[in-house]
């Protein structure tokens, strides 16, 4: 056995020589397959394109001497590329180039894919604000501050059409059962216009710089406070002749305190209700602020409502205004109406300042002959210049005039038999005469020479009696 010991080294040496010959010295060709990453050449970064697919690979089949494969490490030293020098965006089909190490005597048999379909997408970058979405409330007896974040935006890079659909970046903060302050780092999510959430912010088409947001929230024992606006509670329209120009509440906001759940539901508070119809002019009204149960005002629970009116022209009808007729002593007159109406236009204060006796309309018939006259009604003298009279109803009055001398002549011609009885007062110009129909009264001239008159119905209109100063018609009796 000792004599054959030398055979072992010889066998090992022969094995080494055989391996060296087969793998190094032998020129017999063999075939191998590899996967090589494809590099993009001549990419213009200034155009801000993103090329899809990212990190593609090509499968190559290579033929060459066995020793070359061992010596050159083909998989590591083979370079595959796609040239983007003519790429200006959009989809392109470009050839895949494969380069082996120099002097390697390797032959490319096949490559898959021989051509690569790429999509060069124009990218845009936008800083999008981060919104902290607070959900729920801290327990009763605790209060929290407004959350603060840093940074308050994310720099998002994506295709322009994707950027245009982003609504906001958001961090959801749940406060239920939170009794301690929060200081930690959170990641924001992208919220699209349609409400969907993008959680993968490092996808192939979307990238975000530094999505590591510091969130701080202070929580302590106590009841929170909230500043809310104060609104008026106004009903009905302004009174006639007024127009509401503006209103203002002072203070515009007040601070309230209460449980977080109650404060969450309150966006504004109302003043006690005001009926504009009862507010006759521009006013400053102190009012109570209506507070919900369980909520208190920190400083004040009262506010002042400033109401400002402007005057507008109105039209108003005034009826049953006095009307009188002035005539001569020898005239007996009768007329068909004793009141009239007017339609006025003006400001309400001017119209209300007019007194009815200032609107008395006096008809002058002195000097007019006997007969029936249509006399137009005129605007009363001394009427306010600030008020316009649009119309007078009726527009005219019918006045019947009889002359006293003619009536006396007519009475002297009447036979005395038609009088049943008479009571004549010798110390007065008033005579009461009883006829078969009814008592009649006539006031004679103020001339004391006229003592006695015999009276009968004077005309078909049942005029009963008249003096030059006064007219008494049947209805007034």
Rounded Cα distance, 47 and 99, in Å: 28
On whether both 182 and 285 belong to a single domain, the answer is no
Comparison of pLDDT for 201 and 476, the residue scoring more: 201
The helix (run of H) or strand (run of E) holding residue 410 is: helix 404-412
On whether both 98 and 16 belong to a single domain, the answer is yes
What's the pTM?
0.44
pLDDT of residue 18: 57
On whether both 41 and 8 belong to a single domain, the answer is yes
On whether both 109 and 15 belong to a single domain, the answer is yes
Rounded Cα distance, 100 and 113, in Å: 17
Q: Which domain holds residue 66?
A: 2-113
The answer to the question of residue 407 being in a domain is no
At 269, which CATH number? 2.170.120.40
Q: Which residues contact 90 (CB under 8 A, 6 or more apart)?
A: 119, 120
pLDDT of residue 427: 38
> What is the total count of domains within the chain?
5
On whether both 392 and 419 belong to a single domain, the answer is no
The answer to the question of residue 356 being in a domain is yes
Contacts 24+ apart (CB under 8 A), 247-253: 247/305, 247/306, 247/307, 247/308, 248/305, 248/306, 249/303, 249/304, 249/305, 249/306, 250/303, 250/304, 250/306, 251/300, 251/303, 253/227, 253/228, 253/229
The answer to the question of residue 408 being in a domain is no
On whether both 10 and 98 belong to a single domain, the answer is yes
At 12, which CATH number? 2.170.120.30
The answer to the question of residue 477 being in a domain is no
On whether both 108 and 51 belong to a single domain, the answer is yes
Judged against a pLDDT cut of 80, whether residue 35 lies above it is answered with yes
**Mean pLDDT lowest among 25-34, 162-171, 297-306, 466-475:** 466-475
Q: Please say which residue of 311, 334, 356 terminates a domain.
A: 311
> For residue range 248-302, what is the model confidence (pLDDT) as tens digits?
999 999 999 988 888 888 999 999 999 999 999 999 999 999 999 989 999 899 9
> For residue range 144-196, what is the model confidence (pLDDT) as tens digits?
888 999 999 999 888 888 889 999 999 999 998 899 999 999 989 899 999 88
On whether both 131 and 215 belong to a single domain, the answer is yes
On whether both 63 and 76 belong to a single domain, the answer is yes
Q: Please say which residue of 291, 311, 331 terminates a domain.
A: 311
């Amino acid at each position: 056995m000792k004599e054959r010991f030398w055979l072992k080294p010889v066998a090992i040496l022969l094995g080494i020589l055989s391996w060296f010959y087969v793998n190094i010295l032998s020129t017999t060709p063999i075939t191998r397959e590899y996967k090589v990453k494809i590099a993009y050449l001549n990419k213009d970064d200034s155009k801000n394109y993103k090329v899809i697919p990212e990190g593609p690979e090509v499968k190559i089949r290579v033929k060459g001497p066995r020793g070359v494969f061992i010596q050159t490490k083909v998989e590591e030293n083979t370079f595959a590329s796609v040239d983007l020098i003519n790429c200006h965006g959009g989809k392109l089909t470009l050839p895949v180039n494969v380069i082996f190490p120099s002097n390697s005597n390797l032959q490319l048999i096949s490559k898959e894919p021989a051509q690569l379909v790429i999509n060069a997408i124009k990218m845009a970058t936008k800083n999008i604000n981060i919104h902290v979405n607070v959900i729920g409330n801290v327990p009763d007896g605790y209060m929290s501050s407004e959350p603060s974040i840093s940074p308050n935006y994310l720099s998002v890079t994506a295709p322009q059409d994707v950027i245009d659909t982003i609504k906001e970046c958001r961090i959801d903060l749940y406060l239920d059962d939170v009794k301690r302050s929060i200081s930690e780092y959170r990641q924001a999510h992208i919220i699209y216009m349609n409400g969907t959430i993008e959680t993968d912010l490092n996808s192939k088409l979307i990238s975000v710089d530094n999505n590591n947001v510091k969130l701080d929230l202070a929580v302590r024992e106590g009841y929170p406070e909230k500043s809310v606006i104060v609104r008026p509670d106004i009903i009905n329209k302004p009174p006639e002749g007024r127009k509401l120009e503006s209103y203002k509440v002072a203070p515009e906001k007040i601070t309230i305190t209460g449980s977080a759940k109650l404060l969450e539901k309150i966006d504004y508070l109302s003043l006690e209700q005001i009926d504009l119809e009862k507010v006759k002019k521009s006013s400053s009204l102190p009012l109570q602020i209506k507070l919900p149960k369980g909520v208190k005002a920190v400083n004040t629970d009262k506010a002042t409502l400033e109401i400002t009116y402007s005057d507008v022209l109105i039209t108003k009808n005034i009826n049953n205004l006095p009307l009188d007729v002035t005539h001569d002593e020898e005239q007996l007159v009768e007329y068909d109406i004793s009141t009239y109406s007017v339609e006025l236009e003006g400001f309400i204060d001017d119209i209300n300042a007019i007194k009815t006796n200032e609107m008395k309309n006096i008809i002058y018939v002195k000097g007019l002959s006997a007969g029936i006259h249509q006399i137009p009604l005129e605007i009363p003298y001394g009427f306010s210049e600030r008020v316009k009279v649009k119309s007078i109803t009726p527009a005219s009055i019918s006045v019947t005039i009889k002359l006293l001398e003619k009536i006396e002549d007519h009475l002297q011609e009447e036979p005395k038999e038609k009088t049943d009885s008479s009571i004549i007062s010798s110390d007065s110009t008033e005579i009461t005469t009883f006829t078969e129909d009814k008592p009649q009264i006539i006031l004679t001239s103020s001339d004391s020479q006229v003592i006695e008159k015999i009276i009968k119905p004077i005309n078909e209109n049942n005029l009963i009696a008249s003096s030059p100063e006064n007219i008494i018609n049947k209805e007034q009796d």
